[in-house]
Amino acid sequence: MFNENSPAAVWSTVARLERFVSSSALRTNRGRSRRQAHRIDFARISREALARLPDILGRWLPRGRIEGAEYVALNPRRGDRRPGSFKVNLKTGQWADFAIEGARGRDVVSLAAYLGDVGQIEAAERLAAMLGIGARDGR
């Protein structure tokens, strides 16, 4: 047991406070927390990818084709024989495989996550690297 005024007790309290402060969302002079300043910038990555979507889809889904405002391709995650059920909207980035329940997403990052079988953060980081942009806010 420590006496609450002993040096050991004081240093223990200081160490706990330092851990709390370093893990807390401290406010910076821009009003954002330090944690928020280094979050993945999903909106920026999605915008940049959307601007180059036909090229990206040609790389990821090389046997696909453009039909109107959609890119129609074989789904590489299943034994697809004919294109038709796997589509990506070229204007919004929304995508779906209508042959698989729940296989859909709202942007290019979610498509990258689905095709790469990875999480959203890893997909965003990979996509940002492919686009040659920083993945995190504040870069």
The pLDDT of 58-87, averaged and rounded, is 92
CB 83 within 8 A of CB 73: yes
Instruction: Please check whether residues 82 and 31 belong to one and the same domain.
Output: no
- Whether 42 is covered by a domain: the verdict is yes
pLDDT (tens digit, 9 = 90+) per residue, 46-63?
Answer: 999 999 999 999 999 999
Q: Give the containing element (helix H, strand E) for 104.
A: strand 104-105
List the single range of 24-28, 39-43, 75-79 with lowest mean pLDDT: 24-28
The pLDDT of 52-80, averaged and rounded, is 94
CATH number at residue 119: 3.90.580.10
Percent of the chain topping pLDDT 90: 52
**Is the pTM value of this prediction over 0.85?**
no
Instruction: Please check whether residues 72 and 114 belong to one and the same domain.
Output: yes
C-alpha to C-alpha distance for 45 and 125, rounded to whole angstroms: 9
Q: What is the pLDDT of residue 23?
A: 37
Instruction: Please check whether residues 21 and 54 belong to one and the same domain.
Output: no
pLDDT (tens digit, 9 = 90+) per residue, 106-122?
Answer: 999 999 999 999 999 99
Range of the domain at 49: 38-131
Q: What is the pLDDT of residue 21?
A: 34
Q: What is the pLDDT of residue 138?
A: 55
